[in-house]
Amino acid sequence: MGHYTANLRDIEFCLFELLGRGEILGKSVYKDLDRDTAMGMLEEIKRLSENDLAASFVEGDRLGVDFDPTTGDVKVPASFKKSYNAYIQGEWWRVDTPPELGGTKIPSSLRWAIAEMVLGSNPSIHIYASTYGFAHVAYMLGTDDQKKIAKQMVDHHWGASMMLTEPDAGSDVGAGRAKAVQQGDGTWHITGTKRFITSGDSDLSENIVHFVLARREGGGGGTKGLSLFLIPKFMFDFETGALGKRNGVFVTKVEHKMGLNVSSTCEMNLGEKEPAVGYLLGDVHEGIAQMFKIIEFARMMVGTKAIATLSAGYQQALAYAKTRVQGGDMKFMSDKTSPRVTIINHPDVRRSLMVQKAYSEGMRALVLYAASIQDEVAIARAEGMEKDKQDDLDALADLLLPVVKGYGSEKSWTLLGTESLQTFGGSGFTQDWPIEQYVRDAKIDTLYEGTTAIQGLDFFFRKIIKDRGRAIGLLSKEIGAFAKSGGTHLEEKLALQKTLEDLNAIISVLVGHAMASQSDPAEIYKVGLNASRCLMAVGETITAWLLLRQADIAASKLPTAGKDADFYSGKIATAKFFVRNYLPHISADRAIVESTDNSIMEIPESAF
């Protein structure tokens, strides 16, 4: 066994008891899959993740990647390559591949449940294996010839990268200066420098196809002038995949990072040594819209990675707390001769464990709830559901994405350091336990694919304002109906009602500032000061709602639970703890938002 323990019982509970995913299996687009097959897949990926994949987690961190600056080639440790190959040889790549290219059609909820275990055991494996998702995008958006590129990517298991960021532009993608010039044969030559490119190179595959944003000649400024190009490391025959000459895309530097060290993060040069030949995706200049297909997948992956790591940290902390003997029971603190106890008996350790349990289980439900909406989107499209219903589902799926990524990554990173590592005391700060690596590896999740602040702004301006409150209204209505449903946990449901009122007030105040900014531009600062707070409040509210739904299910199952009695009792206790300890913060957030002024924006820089 490696460092990782998967919580398959809770994954199964979320999928089938909370979210009713069994109801969509055997029907429509998922007609070839039943619950037994789905559980078999989950059990097998659990076994693989806990053993083969987890085996190289520590060594991959300690050794990192080897970069040869003379050739621009990157190599990963042999142990990591063995783990990666176990994933590929197990044919798990099929879950991200179009059926037309040999993939397996499964619900998004099952796909992300599988991903949780891979990301929790060895996240870099999943990151490198994102190539199949890239191939899916190339197949979906590409010309007939470019669909052949996607086929070669899958058939030969080539790598892929997404190249957005440039050294000067950073998160301001529209400021990118990489340039594309069309050639007489229909290809393009791209020049420029890209930075922080995940999986920019490795020896896991013989070729890599880079998805590169560049400004076409005469394309104008901002994001509208950007186009998306497919640039292979080696040129190749579209029909056979046979490799040709080296293309002009080279790694010039590999970043030295605080974590996730076996994932190569590269600075890339295009077109300096020789032309970097690329193919315009779809033969259309729709770079940002096309790239967002990849970004949306990446944001879901990053949020799932963060939450999976928190779950791994909690499992480690729980096991340690049950075995580490230190101090006496607090009830007998005046008796210095009282028996020593395991630290799970100490009140603050128990509080800390319950915090970790509540967030890891609540945010797992958040990921799988978001994925279940993606399931419904796929079914609605396949069955030709009325447009309004499809639009509602699309809007809800879009709304949840920054919550999964922004809220999930922020809470996971914070809790891994303040609670999971803390459970170990001084031992947590050493490399004797994997928890310090979890903390280092998880920090990037708040930065990857748009920082938390960017997620907050995206959530407010695109998912609320631009959407005219459609999706947030639908979600609020569903949560409100549950809060008023009566039955068990009435006190907690009343608290959820109050929280929903506070959340709606927060959103209303920020919408008011946005509207006022049309006549007084400085009013928009008040939105900027609180967008992340709003995103976190939405995340807390959804998490509380999902935990309470779990508690209601647990209460109904408890009388006949048998060996699952403790599992269901834990669900009820967790929901009550979260509601009582975390929902009151939303009232404080409302007061802060309502009293926000622009004084902080008026302070001179020299005062900081």
CB 279 within 8 A of CB 262: no
Give me the residues paired with residue 226 across strands.
215
| Rounded-to-integer distance, Cα 226 and Cα 284, Å | 11
| Rounded-to-integer distance, Cα 593 and Cα 533, Å | 8
CB 263 within 8 A of CB 249: no
Per DSSP, the residues of 558-573 read: GGG-GGGHHHHHHHHH
**Cβ-proximal residues to 105 (8 Å cutoff; 6+ apart), any chain:** 29, 30, 32, 33, 99
Give the CA-trace dihedral at 77, 112, 536, 527, to 10 degrees.
90
SS3 34: coil
DSSP state of 597: -
The one-letter amino acid at 406: G
**Chain segment 173-185, per-residue pLDDT in tens:** 777 899 999 999 9
pLDDT of residue 1: 66
| Rounded-to-integer distance, Cα 456 and Cα 446, Å | 12
| Rounded-to-integer distance, Cα 288 and Cα 216, Å | 13
Give the CA-trace dihedral at 470, 476, 481, 484, to 10 degrees.
-150
Number of neighbours of residue 348 by Cβ within 10 angstroms: 11
CA distances to 292, 361, 395 from 489, rounded to whole Å, are 41, 19, 31
Which of 106, 88, 85, 103 lies closest to 42 in space, CA to CA?
106
CB 92 within 8 A of CB 118: yes
**Chain segment 582-604, per-residue pLDDT in tens:** 999 999 999 999 999 999 999 99
| Rounded-to-integer distance, Cα 110 and Cα 371, Å | 8
Which of 136, 249, 153, 121 lies closest to 197 in space, CA to CA?
249
Per DSSP, the residues of 134-197 read: HHHHHHHHS-HHHHHHHHHHHHTT-EEEEE---TTTTT-GGG---EEEE-TTS-EEEEEEEEEE
User: Residue 50: pLDDT above 70?
Assistant: yes
DSSP state of 257: -
Backbone angles phi, psi at 276, to 5 degrees: -95, 105
| Rounded-to-integer distance, Cα 499 and Cα 585, Å | 9
Per DSSP, the residues of 396-418 read: HHHHHHHIIIIIHHHHHHHHIII
Number of helices (H) and strands (E) in the chain: give both, helices first: 22, 14
- The CATH superfamily holding the domain 8-66+75-134 is Acyl-CoA dehydrogenase/oxidase, N-terminal domain (1.10.540.10)
| Rounded-to-integer distance, Cα 204 and Cα 226, Å | 30
Both tokens assigned to 114: 């599988």
| Rounded-to-integer distance, Cα 199 and Cα 265, Å | 6
Q: Which residue is listed with tokens 């439900």?
A: 365
The one-letter amino acid at 149: I
Instruction: Point out the residues that are catalytic.
Output: 449
Taking residues 438-453, report their average pLDDT: 96
| Rounded-to-integer distance, Cα 69 and Cα 189, Å | 23
User: 273-277, 367-371, 566-570: lowest mean pLDDT where?
Assistant: 273-277
| Rounded-to-integer distance, Cα 605 and Cα 608, Å | 6
Q: What is the CATH number of domain 135-285?
A: 2.40.110.20
How confident is the prediction for the chain on average, in pLDDT?
96
Taking residues 408-418, report their average pLDDT: 98
**Chain segment 228-282, per-residue pLDDT in tens:** 999 999 999 999 999 999 999 999 999 999 999 999 999 999 999 899 999 999 9
Give me the residues paired with residue 160 across strands.
209
**Chain segment 273-321, per-residue pLDDT in tens:** 899 999 999 999 999 999 999 999 999 999 999 999 999 999 999 999 9
Q: What percent of the chain has pLDDT over 70?
A: 100
Per DSSP, the residues of 99-123 read: GGGT-----HHHHHHHHHHHHHH-H
Domain ranges of the chain: 8-66+75-134, 135-285, 464-608
Both tokens assigned to 426: 């001084």
Both tokens assigned to 72: 């621009």
CA distances to 96, 123, 344, 414 from 58, rounded to whole Å, are 27, 12, 27, 22
**Run of H or E residues at 68:** strand 66-68
**Chain segment 196-229, per-residue pLDDT in tens:** 999 999 999 999 999 999 999 888 888 889 999 9
Q: Which residue is listed with tokens 């945010």?
A: 363
Taking residues 31-58, report their average pLDDT: 97
Burial class (CB in 10 A: 0-12, 13-18, 19+), 541: buried
Backbone angles phi, psi at 289, to 5 degrees: -60, -40
CB 575 within 8 A of CB 583: no
* Long-range contacts, stretch 239-246, CB < 8 angstroms, 24+ apart: 239/148, 241/152, 241/155, 241/156, 243/206, 243/207, 246/274
DSSP state of 242: -
Looking only at the bridges linking them, the beta strands covering 208-216 and 159-163 are: parallel
